[in-house]
Amino acid sequence: MRNIKLVVSYDGTDFHGWQVQPGYRTVQQVLEEAVAALTGESGVRVNASGRTDTGVHAVGQVVNFRSATRLEPAQLLRALNAHLPEDVRVLSVEDAPPGFHARFDARSKTYRYYIRNGPLASPFERQFVWHVPQPLDVDAMRQAASRLLGRHDFSAFRSSGTEVPDSVRTLHTSAVVETAGAVPWLVSTATTTPSASRCSSDAGSVLTYEVTGDGFLRHMVRAIVGTLVEVGRGWRDAAQMDALLQSGDRARAGATAPPHGLFLVRVDYD
Amino acid sequence: MRNIKLVVSYDGTDFHGWQVQPGYRTVQQVLEEAVAALTGESGVRVNASGRTDTGVHAVGQVVNFRSATRLEPAQLLRALNAHLPEDVRVLSVEDAPPGFHARFDARSKTYRYYIRNGPLASPFERQFVWHVPQPLDVDAMRQAASRLLGRHDFSAFRSSGTEVPDSVRTLHTSAVVETAGAVPWLVSTATTTPSASRCSSDAGSVLTYEVTGDGFLRHMVRAIVGTLVEVGRGWRDAAQMDALLQSGDRARAGATAPPHGLFLVRVDYD
Contact at CB, A91 and B201, closer than 8 angstroms: yes
Domain B108-269 has CATH 3.90.420.10: no
Q: What would the pLDDT profile of B20-43 be if each residue is shown by its tens digit?
A: 999 999 999 999 999 999 999 999
Taking an 8 Å cut-off on Cβ atoms, the answer to whether A59 and B198 are in contact is: no
pLDDT, tens digit, 9 for 90 and up, residues A192-225:
444 557 777 777 888 999 999 999 999 999 999 9
Q: How confident is the model at residue A181 (pLDDT cuts 50, 70, 90)?
A: low
* pLDDT given for residue B188 in this prediction: 40
- Determine the residue type at B237: D
Does the beta carbon of A97 lie under 8 angstroms from any beta carbon of chain B? no
Q: Which residues pair with B47 in a beta bridge?
A: B64
Whether chain B has a CB inside 8 Å of the CB on A191: the answer is yes
Q: Is the pLDDT score of A19 beyond 70?
A: yes
Q: Give every CB contact of residue B160 below 8 A, 6+ residues apart in sequence.
A: B250, B251
B chain contacts of residue A188, beta-carbon cutoff 8 Å: 7, 9, 59-60, 91, 265-266
* Cross-chain residue pair A183–B183, CB shorter than 8 Å: yes
What average pLDDT does range B93-97 have in this prediction? 96
- Helix (H) / strand (E) element for A35: namely helix A27-39
Which pLDDT score is estimated for A202? 75
Average pLDDT over residues A228-249: 96
Mean pLDDT of B192-205: 68
Residue A199: predicted pLDDT: 78
Distances (CA, A) of B135 to A68, A81, B256: 33, 18, 19
B124 or A161, which is more confident = B124
* Pairing mode, strands A2-10 and B57-67: unpaired
CA angle B152, B53, B162 (to 5 degrees): 50
Residue A164 has pLDDT above 80, yes or no: no
Q: Indicate the average pLDDT of chain B.
A: 91
Nearest to A18 by CA among A34, A30, A6, A5: A30
Q: Which residues of A touch B96 (CB under 8 A)?
A: none
Q: Which fold has domain A107-269?
A: Alpha-Beta Plaits (3.30.70)
Q: Provide the whole-model pTM.
A: 0.91
CB B221 within 8 A of CB B262: yes
Categorize the per-residue pLDDT at A163 as very low, low, confident or very high, splitting at 50, 70 and 90: low
**Interface residue A11 vs chain B (CB under 8 A):** yes
Rounded CA gap, A198 and A81, in Å? 48
pLDDT surpassing 90 at residue B199: no
Burial of A191 (0-12, 13-18, 19+ CB in 10 A): exposed
Query: The domain A2-95: what is its CATH number?
Result: 3.30.70.580
Tell me whether domains A2-95 and A107-269 share a fold: yes
Cβ-in-10-Å burial (0-12, 13-18, 19+) of B179 comes to exposed
* pLDDT at B192 exceeding the cut of 60: no
Mean pLDDT confidence for B225-240: 97
The reported pLDDT for the residue numbered B164 is 72
Inspect the interface and report whether the beta carbons of A124 and B128 lie closer than 8 Å. Answer: yes
How many other C-beta atoms can be found within 10 angstroms of the C-beta atom of residue B234?
A: 12
Distance from CA of B11 to the nearest CA of A (A): 6
Residue A189, pLDDT above cutoff 70: no
Q: Please state the domain extents for chain A.
A: 2-95, 107-269
ipTM reported for the complex, 2 dp: 0.87
